[in-house]
Amino acid sequence: MRFEAQPAARFDPPQRPTGVTLFDKTGSTNGFGAYVAFVPAKRIGLVMLANRAFPMPARIAAAHAVLEVLAAEEP
């Protein structure tokens, strides 16, 4: 897991996701942290907000646990 900024890289040619894909992003500002995740194939999205002092790895683990429960539910 990386906590410093990483440059974006273009896939050339662009590639379509295969299988179930998780798109996610972390962020923080002025004492608050966020984690957003989206699983298009399951039509599930999640935004988790917390005090910045709450560790990012724990925030991500909690979000993934919620996503797993939601993905297991049949609509």
Q: What is the pLDDT of residues 27-40, one digit of tens each?
A: 888 888 999 999 98
Alpha helices in the chain (DSSP H): 56-72
- The pLDDT mean for the chain works out to 86
What is the residue type of 19? G
Name the pTM for this structure: 0.71
**1 pLDDT exceeds 60?**
no
**2 pLDDT exceeds 70?**
no
Give the span between the Cα atoms of 16 and 75, in whole angstroms: 25
**75 pLDDT exceeds 70?**
no
Q: What is the mean pLDDT of residues 37-66?
A: 91
* Domain range summary for the chain, segments of one domain joined by +: 23-72
